[in-house]
Amino acid sequence: MKTVVFDKPILTGDVAVPGDKSISHRAVMLGSIAEGETKITGFLDGEDCLRTIDIFRQLGVSIEREGTNVTVDSPGLQGWQLPSGDLYAGNSGTTARLMLGILAGSNIESVLTGDESLSKRPMNRVTLPLSTMGASIAGGPDGNLLPLTIAGGHLTAIDYKMPVASAQVKSAILFAGLNAEGTTTISEKTVSRDHTERMLMQFGASIQVDGFKVSVKGGNVLHGTEVIVPGDISSAAFFMSAAAMIKGSSVTFKNVGLNPTRTGILDVLRNMGARVEILEEKNGVGEPFGTVKVSYGELRATEISGELIPRLIDELPIIALLATQAEGTTVIKDAEELRVKETDRIAAVTSELKKIGADIEATDDGMIIHGPTALTGGTLTSYGDHRVGMMAAIAALIASEPIQIEDPECIAISYPGFFEDLDKLAQPANANG
């Protein structure tokens, strides 16, 4: 239990949030699939990404880590060794789903497991298309839940139309496609994050992107390279939202990822009336990143739906809190995927925000929030979900009474150092006059 008490602070100053979780996972994965050395800087040393490192070490890949600098030295996927035990993905959906795609095309037989939360999350969105490619995956019920046994082997390319907008599914199939016979093509209805596509190009894969379609040719050997991981915009989103809600606040985010498939939060902040300035943007090899300043603005309600959803899926818990401070009714829809995240985020966010006085209701595929409402204090649970935990901590900044957070440790999954950065940014309101 952690008690967060702030006496009406404002947020000011600069912050460099930790590395992007999605990109960190992929850098270790592709570094391990590739032959030779890969140097990663800015790696996220959070729980989820450390699980990915552990799995590849078990497969015989040499991975040295000094803080956020990681060196991967791999014989390439064909040279991996049989693991001596199960491969444990912990709480990490990205690790589990992407590993299924990678292992399917290797020559390794292994058992993939996860923690209690991950063992309830659906895997058949990945195991079904992988089985169509010829993967041998066994586990119950119908290959939908961990633990799953994967016997890597011969795969054949497929042409797959994705029923859900999910970068995890897309990436798992692309990874399997790297080792399949023929060219694998995936079509999405709306574009989900494209980190895998960008990084595959960096590692020398034969990949083509054409609008909502991406194709990868099987059989090419990848070679190690350098990967620079920018700060995670999904982590920055918590302090961006705090700065937008608290009068007098202004925070500058250095070295933050600005991949357009991830910047939906900036669009929403602008639409709601916050001040968002891109002070610098670098668009080189790999991922775009830059410096962003977010300052308070009088907030108004908005609608969040359709193609915007995949561009801010992980930000919806903090956006719900933001909407409690906006004038009018905010509607979030088309976000049924929230029900199968680390926890059911629609149920968790509505239940916790209601406890402190928010006017919020759950719908099947989103939330409806009426604002503005004053928030009171109380005990909130994180449900073991890092993003719900961070939402509760930011709520404490604007609540009239202290907020206690049950199970705050889970925040280290994506943002180790979150409370230190919060302490650094939060200043007594009278400090700046």
Instruction: Return the active site residues.
Output: 314
Per DSSP, the three-state class of 19 is strand
Task: Compute the least distance from the CB of residue 46 to ligand S3P, in Å.
Answer: 12
Q: Which of residues 41-100 bind ligand S3P (CB under 6 A)?
A: 94
* 341 phi and psi angles, rounded to 5 deg: -85, -160
Q: Judged by CB under 6 A, does residue 22 bind ligand S3P?
A: yes
Q: Amino acid letter at 138?
A: A
Nearer of residues 23 and 326 to ligand S3P, judged by Cβ: 23
Q: Which two tokens stand for residue 326?
A: 């906006």
Q: Which two tokens stand for residue 227?
A: 């990967």
Q: Judged by CB under 6 A, does residue 241 bind ligand S3P?
A: no
Task: Compute the least distance from the CB of residue 225 to ligand S3P, in Å.
Answer: 20
Nearer of residues 193 and 198 to ligand S3P, judged by Cβ: 193
Task: Compute the least distance from the CB of residue 313 to ligand S3P, in Å.
Answer: 5
Q: Judged by CB under 6 A, does residue 365 bind ligand S3P?
A: no
Which position among 181, 226, 337, 344 is part of the footprint of ligand S3P (CB under 6 A)?
A: 337
Which position among 313, 353, 396, 422 is part of the footprint of ligand S3P (CB under 6 A)?
A: 313
Q: Judged by CB under 6 A, does residue 126 bind ligand S3P?
A: no
Task: Compute the least distance from the CB of residue 93 to ligand S3P, in Å.
Answer: 6
Nearer of residues 59 and 312 to ligand S3P, judged by Cβ: 312
- Which residue matches tokens 């995670």? 232
- Which residue matches tokens 């990848």? 222
What is the pairing mode between strands 148-151 and 109-113?
antiparallel
Nearer of residues 168 and 250 to ligand S3P, judged by Cβ: 168
Round to whole Å and give the CA distance between 83 and 45. 23
Task: Compute the least distance from the CB of residue 387 to ligand S3P, in Å.
Answer: 9
Round to whole Å and give the CA distance between 160 and 85. 33
Per DSSP, the three-state class of 324 is coil
Nearer of residues 232 and 296 to ligand S3P, judged by Cβ: 232
Q: Which of residues 141-170 bind ligand S3P (CB under 6 A)?
A: 166-168
Q: Is the dihedral of CA 43, 412, 90, 343 positive or negative?
A: negative
- Which residue matches tokens 């990663």? 40
Nearer of residues 91 and 249 to ligand S3P, judged by Cβ: 91
Q: Judged by CB under 6 A, does residue 314 bind ligand S3P?
A: yes
Round to whole Å and give the CA distance between 165 and 144. 18
Round to whole Å and give the CA distance between 123 and 139. 10
CB of 23 within 8 A of CB of 287? Answer: yes
Contacts with ligand S3P by CB under 6 A lie at 22, 94, 166-168, 171, 193, 313-314, 337
